[in-house]
Chain A
Amino acid sequence: MSRHRAVRNLNLEEELYDEEDDGAIYDELQDISEDDQARLIKGVEAVKGAIGSDTGIEDREIKESLWYYFFDEEATIAWLQKTHKLKLKNTGNDHRSLDQIISAAPHRPSQQRLLRQSTPALTPLGQALGEPKHGGTNLSLKSLASSGSVPGLARLSLGSLSQRGSLSSLAKTGQPSGATTLSPSVVGKALAALKVRPSPEFPTAQSDSAQSHLMSSQGSSFKQTGQPSSMPVLKNFAGRQLPALKSVALGSCVDRTEAKQPERRRAALGAESLVLSSTTLYAGPSPLASFILSGLGSDSKGHVREVSRGTVVAALERDIRGVLEANKGEGDAKMKTLAKGVARLKVGGDDNDDQAVSSGAESADITPAVTPKRRIDVVAEYSVHQKNRETLNLVVVGHVDAGKSTLMGHVLYALGQVNERTMKKFERDAEKIGKGSFAFAWVLDETDEERSRGVTMDIATSAFSTQHRKFTLLDAPGHRDFVPNMISGASRADVAILVVDASTGGFESGFDGNGQTREHAILIRSLGVRQLVVAVNKLDVVEWSETRYLEITNRLVDFLTGCGYVKEDVRFAPVSGLKGVNLAHRITADGTPELASWYHDKDSASEPGPCLVELIDTFTMPERPVSKPFRLAVTDFFKGGTFSSANSVSVTGRISQGNVQIGEHVVMVPGGERGVVKAIDVDFVTEEWAVAGDSVVLMIQGLDIQHISVGSVVCTPERPIQCTTRFEAQLVVFDPPVPITNGFPGLLHMQSLNVPAVVSRIIETFDQRSGEVLKRRPRHIRKGATARVEIVAETPVCLELFKDSKELGRIMLRKNGETIAAGIVTAIYGG
């Protein structure tokens, strides 16, 4: 692409928006009112008078501190004196311990991470804390704490506060708080528990509610837990390399040893805050934290800034702003030390977590590793971060020209995945070749061929997120010739949207006879898709006729339940992909009165019914086999990618089971060639690891592209997948034009692979329900029957038994462009 084009394609709005955004976060001081400015200047003078003007502390820093403490001069002075000392210390001692570095780490993401991690981590911690135990380790903690900076403090105090939150909730729920001394091994156990199953039992919601209890039970419960007791225990945790805990532990210590300052600050806040007005000195910050936590909990991606949304009073907002501000002020200097520390860590291979720190600097979705050298415990990580990674693979199917691509293109546009400029460009260009109505489809149909013919030919992959879910979108072609591509997409899907054309004759041509509506619905069902939303498209063409809508839905319900869908899992939505009606937003009575007159919410007749995006947002998550041996069926491979070197290949596909992380060794079957994973992209975003269900691009070094083909499987070297030409399968025969006999040739479809294969032997036919054998060695299988057969493929294929892998154990048999049977693998023969 030429530079000119790059410039032309530059998304100005986005660029500008970003800048604005940054400005808003970092330049708080410039935004404050004139009154405040005046107060600031006064404050600076007062502070200078108190500490002497020749300390080398810059005015700006003083201003920031003042703003942070909201003109509390005393606090500012105390703080400044401390940081000043600290700075001297810093320059004097380059070899600060990592603990200090971590505790001083002043950037926002890590703060978020901390909070997120601390939420699930807290309850076991709380248990530990509940034990009264006195320790002499306070001293060492104090020394650590003395290096804490304001942002560190702020952050850490948040951690400690949230701790208290769950402590009190514990107290509330009647957990023993006065038990015997806690031995390190018990602590270890608690730690293990924390690692293995944190979130399911202590979801954010619960801790939220716990925090609301907090408001009432604050004072007493807090006293119960006995402050100093927590420190040694926490120290134990910290000793066990769990960085998150460590920071929390440190936080609590810092909080207490340096109690004076923050307390004063909090007191000031408490006085101003509506909610906090009646609480005690200690209690003050806790609800504050609970707000922050609940804010973060409800919007995991959210910035700290957003926390203030609606719920928090002005004081809190200012407090947070102060945190940010302080972050910024300290940021630059601290970043350098931090980076140095990280670099040292990497070289030294210290036990501690550097990845969390370094990646925290880049993105909010952090994936901390226990150690850089040892493997990430992806399963544990996954269960911790599950909430953020609830990715569903959504395939969009339907008859050709039902409007799948247009519909999804419009949805992507409505969700902001496509910017205005690009869309305008598509509209212009589509108009130019006389296909104006295809503009939205162009979002997904990217090749010239597809655009000029107006037909999707291959799966288009994209990604978007709704309120509760992230989706990997697979837009399947509807044309019957491209059913192999559609199978390749559908075999990667968890859920589906079936698009039907509601226009007169449109539905019929797709549904009756040789239409793909039926075939696709059956195919995706046999590929394991259970949840389905039917988008009744182009309803605008028939004036939003309710009769037509009901006619279509009734016919489809009959048909779909007939081919194995549960009625409750099939939902319908009247939409118009072209006009964008009822896609991302509910309809309004003004917008489409015809539709609004009859499309109502189930619960209240005055509300319009749910829109398409709402419906797909409520799909339930399937269980992911994350701890099984790693398997990825290759759907595509190419040279280049994010990590690109002479002997690296990028392979794409969906992880069928298990997990993978950067640096892991993998083996390619067939071939047995080994390589190392160098980079992982999940839905176009770089990640450290990926688990079953993720659609990924893996950059693998050490593989020869010549030896890869579609249908190869990337596996863990410990337990590679089997590869065979002969296997036994259990087939459900659909409606073949000719019966299946011994020696029946066809095309075997497996994931993205299709190879010629022969049903070499029919072993028996049996009753699908009772499992009773109807006939041994029948001469042929007729339509609708279930049979066990032996299949011989022309070339070796990678298979798993269905009982071991739902995805890699499914097969399809097609002949002459028709799907004649679907099946599961029941036995694999060698050779």
Chain B
Amino acid sequence: MKLLKQFIEKSRAGYVRLIPEQPEDMWHIYNLIQKEDQLEASTVRGVKSETSTGSVSTDRVRLKLTISIEDVFFDVQAGALRINGRNIVENKFVGFGQYHTLDLEMNQPFTLSKPEWDLISLQRIKDACDITRQADVAAVTMQEGLAVICLLTQFMTVVRQKIEVPIPRKRRGSTTNYEKGVQRFYEQIYRGIKQHIDFSVVKVVILGSPGFVRDQFFEYMMAQATKAEDKTTLENKAKFVLVHTSSGHKGALEEVMRDPQIKARLADTKAAQEVKAIDSFYQMLNNNPDRAFYGFADVRKAADNGAIGTLLVTDELFRAADIQTRKKYIQLVEDSQASNAEVLVFSSLHVSGEQLNQLTGVAAILNFPLIIDSDIEESDDESDSKAPLTPSSG
């Protein structure tokens, strides 16, 4: 993303002008936009015009509209962002208060103004515009009969394809069915890789599986590529990294991040940091449960006591439609930062973010043990358990 202009007043009201350049930027914008923000962007609108004779014609007109946002929809797969709201700047075609839904387009500048820019949003813009921290990685997790092709960017893990091929198991006396099934399975993964992975962007392709599936598949793919003279695959042979995982489900990506080979390559990526943070949280919970808290109420209490060493929080909480909720969490982040805590905002699209989401979305590793009254905890857990589950991202 490119930041064209930023104007924020002391009152924290102001606007920024941005150009999205990658699909991932849409995700950032999705996280920036709040209800009642104002967005000015170029869009296309069907305009009805009535001639003097009374006949009606509809024209598609490109125009610049400023809307007050009411609803946002983000399609992870397509990377498309649709924003719905009422027009607030009248012009020739669109009256004041008329509804419009605009699609944000790639490489088209837009202006977003907010009544209050909080630090999470500003940090988000900073992250989005930092090109040095971008590493595009593709990962294929496999197990016999199941493969998931994902693209990992700094902030997103997008499942591009889930391949499920029934493989008959070996039976006494005949393994042909099994072998045929395996061949069919590999063929589909290979096709999926060719279709979804753009080697000009992707720097590493991780093949993860239990057992020997990855080795066998890699062998198969290279043999096929040689046979079909598939130059792109052959040229990028070095980009493939084979990693052990315990399963072929998407959750195995977390294990991928822990693999020393991958760690070395992706050390500074957000995904790797997140996995590390959540690991140490669990470790702490195991070894010293009084120093690892989760759930808003507990963490809030820890923050009040200035005990938070690392705060783990998912971005989903800041997207909350309810402004009060958002404020509550922003306050928490600010307070933690005030006490010199490290704050990690997890991307809810990453596997680790999903995990944190399940874990109420907020957790903290404390600097010193804290005993919490269990009665209060109980009532709070009640509300936490009612929190909606993460909407599936694909």
A positions within 8 Å CB-CB of B: 446-450, 453, 457-462, 479, 481-482, 484, 635-638, 640, 652, 684, 705, 708-710, 737-739, 741-745, 747, 754-756, 758, 760-761, 775-777, 779-780, 782, 792, 814-818
The answer to whether A741 and B294 touch (CB under 8 A), given A705-B166, A747-B249, A756-B249, is yes
Q: How far is the CA of A754 from the CA of B146 in the complex (A)?
A: 11
Contact present for B172 and A684 (CB under 8 Å): yes
24 contacts between A and B (CB under 8 A): A446-B172, A448-B179, A460-B170, A461-B172, A481-B246, A482-B210, A484-B143, A640-B177, A738-B283, A738-B286, A739-B282, A741-B285, A741-B294, A742-B360, A743-B355, A743-B358, A744-B359, A747-B246, A777-B377, A777-B381, A779-B289, A780-B289, A816-B246, A817-B247
Contact present for A446 and B169 (CB under 8 Å): no
Contact present for A481 and B166 (CB under 8 Å): no
Contact present for B170 and A482 (CB under 8 Å): no
Contact present for B251 and A779 (CB under 8 Å): no
CB A452 to nearest CB in B, in angstroms, measures: 10
CB B256 to nearest CB in A, in angstroms, measures: 11
Q: How far is the CA of A479 from the CA of B279 in the complex (A)?
A: 26
Contact present for A458 and B359 (CB under 8 Å): no
Residues of B within 8 A of A705 (CB): 166
Residues of B within 8 A of A743 (CB): 355, 357-360
Residues of B within 8 A of A640 (CB): 177
Contact present for A777 and B378 (CB under 8 Å): yes
Q: How far is the CA of A229 from the CA of B212 in the complex (A)?
A: 75
Contact present for A461 and B246 (CB under 8 Å): no
Residues of A within 8 A of B166 (CB): 637, 705, 708-710
Contact present for A737 and B355 (CB under 8 Å): no
Contact present for B172 and A742 (CB under 8 Å): no
Q: How far is the CA of A780 from the CA of B384 in the complex (A)?
A: 14
Residues of A within 8 A of B282 (CB): 737-739, 741
Residues of B within 8 A of A637 (CB): 166, 168
Contact present for A747 and B285 (CB under 8 Å): no
Top 5 closest A-B pairs, CB basis?
A: A743-B358, A817-B246, A738-B282, A481-B210, A638-B168
B78 within 8 A of A: no
Residues of A within 8 A of B355 (CB): 743, 745
Residues of A within 8 A of B255 (CB): 816
Contact present for B175 and A446 (CB under 8 Å): yes
CB B363 to nearest CB in A, in angstroms, measures: 9
Q: How far is the CA of A743 from the CA of B389 in the complex (A)?
A: 10
B385 within 8 A of A: yes
Contact present for A458 and B285 (CB under 8 Å): no
**Interface readout for B354-368 with A: 1 if CB under 8 Å, 0 if not?**
110111100000000
Q: How far is the CA of A493 from the CA of B144 in the complex (A)?
A: 23
Q: How far is the CA of A814 from the CA of B170 in the complex (A)?
A: 24
Contact present for A458 and B170 (CB under 8 Å): yes
B199 within 8 A of A: no
Residues of B within 8 A of A817 (CB): 210, 246-247
B231 within 8 A of A: no
By beta carbon, the residue of chain B nearest A743 is B358
CB A5 to nearest CB in B, in angstroms, measures: 13
B178 within 8 A of A: yes
**Interface readout for B322-335 with A: 1 if CB under 8 Å, 0 if not?**
00000000000000
B98 within 8 A of A: no
- Known interface pairs A755-B249, A779-B298; 18 further A-B residue pairs with C-beta atoms within 8 A, sorted by A's residue number: A447-B179, A459-B169, A461-B172, A738-B279, A738-B285, A742-B359, A743-B358, A745-B355, A745-B358, A756-B250, A758-B358, A760-B389, A776-B378, A779-B289, A780-B289, A816-B255, A817-B247, A818-B246
Q: Which of B286, B377, B384 contacts A737 (CB 8 A)?
A: B286
Q: How far is the CA of A460 from the CA of B354 in the complex (A)?
A: 37
**Interface readout for B214-253 with A: 1 if CB under 8 Å, 0 if not?**
0010000000000000000000000000001011011100
The answer to whether A742 and B211 touch (CB under 8 A), given A460-B170, A747-B247, is no
Contact present for A747 and B385 (CB under 8 Å): no
Q: How far is the CA of A818 from the CA of B210 in the complex (A)?
A: 12
CB B349 to nearest CB in A, in angstroms, measures: 15
Q: How far is the CA of A792 from the CA of B392 in the complex (A)?
A: 13
Q: How far is the CA of A448 from the CA of B212 in the complex (A)?
A: 13
Most chain A CB within 10 A, of B144, B170, B175, B385, is at B170
Chain B residues touching A, range: 35 or more
Q: How far is the CA of A479 from the CA of B143 in the complex (A)?
A: 15
B171 within 8 A of A: yes
The answer to whether A457 and B357 touch (CB under 8 A), given A447-B178, A817-B246, is no
Residues of B within 8 A of A738 (CB): 279, 282-283, 285-286
Contact present for B247 and A754 (CB under 8 Å): yes
The answer to whether A461 and B171 touch (CB under 8 A), given A638-B177, A705-B166, A738-B285, is yes
Interface residues of B in 70-124 (CB under 8 A from A): none
Residues of A within 8 A of B358 (CB): 742-745, 758, 760
CB B114 to nearest CB in A, in angstroms, measures: 31
Interface residues of B in 182-213 (CB under 8 A from A): 210-212
By beta carbon, the residue of chain A nearest B284 is A738
Q: How far is the CA of A756 from the CA of B351 in the complex (A)?
A: 12
CB A96 to nearest CB in B, in angstroms, measures: 44
By beta carbon, the residue of chain B nearest A709 is B166
Q: How far is the CA of A710 from the CA of B167 in the complex (A)?
A: 10
The answer to whether A742 and B216 touch (CB under 8 A), given A481-B210, A684-B172, A817-B246, is no
CB A413 to nearest CB in B, in angstroms, measures: 14
Residues of A within 8 A of B251 (CB): 745, 747, 756
By beta carbon, the residue of chain B nearest A737 is B286
Residues of A within 8 A of B171 (CB): 461, 636, 652
Contact present for A460 and B359 (CB under 8 Å): no
By beta carbon, the residue of chain A nearest B281 is A738
Q: How far is the CA of A818 from the CA of B178 in the complex (A)?
A: 27
By beta carbon, the residue of chain A nearest B255 is A816
CB A643 to nearest CB in B, in angstroms, measures: 16
Q: Which of B164, B216, B254, B295 contacts A449 (CB 8 A)?
A: B216
Residues of B within 8 A of A758 (CB): 358
Q: How far is the CA of A775 from the CA of B244 in the complex (A)?
A: 38
CB B157 to nearest CB in A, in angstroms, measures: 14
Residues of B within 8 A of A710 (CB): 145, 166
The answer to whether A741 and B170 touch (CB under 8 A), given A457-B211, A481-B246, is no
Residues of B within 8 A of A450 (CB): 170
Residues of B within 8 A of A484 (CB): 143, 247
Most chain A CB within 10 A, of B247, B250, B359, B374, is at B247
Residues of A within 8 A of B145 (CB): 710
Contact present for A482 and B175 (CB under 8 Å): no
By beta carbon, the residue of chain B nearest A479 is B211
Q: How far is the CA of A637 from the CA of B166 in the complex (A)?
A: 8
Q: How far is the CA of A69 from the CA of B275 in the complex (A)?
A: 89
**Interface readout for B157-169 with A: 1 if CB under 8 Å, 0 if not?**
0000000101011
Q: Which of A458, A708, A777 contacts B169 (CB 8 A)?
A: A458
Q: How far is the CA of A272 from the CA of B172 in the complex (A)?
A: 51
Interface residues of B in 287-342 (CB under 8 A from A): 289, 294-295, 298
Residues of B within 8 A of A741 (CB): 282, 285, 294, 359
Residues of B within 8 A of A457 (CB): 211-212
Q: How far is the CA of A738 from the CA of B282 in the complex (A)?
A: 6
Q: Which of B172, B250, B286 contacts A462 (CB 8 A)?
A: B172
CB A803 to nearest CB in B, in angstroms, measures: 26
Q: How far is the CA of A738 from the CA of B287 in the complex (A)?
A: 9
Residues of A within 8 A of B164 (CB): 709
Interface residues of B in 258-298 (CB under 8 A from A): 279, 282-283, 285-286, 289, 294-295, 298
By beta carbon, the residue of chain B nearest A444 is B172
CB A409 to nearest CB in B, in angstroms, measures: 12
Q: How far is the CA of A453 from the CA of B212 in the complex (A)?
A: 10
Q: How far is the CA of A380 from the CA of B249 in the complex (A)?
A: 45
Q: How far is the CA of A459 from the CA of B144 in the complex (A)?
A: 13
Q: How far is the CA of A709 from the CA of B359 in the complex (A)?
A: 31
Residues of A within 8 A of B144 (CB): 458
Most chain A CB within 10 A, of B164, B172, B381, is at B172
Residues of B within 8 A of A760 (CB): 358, 385, 389
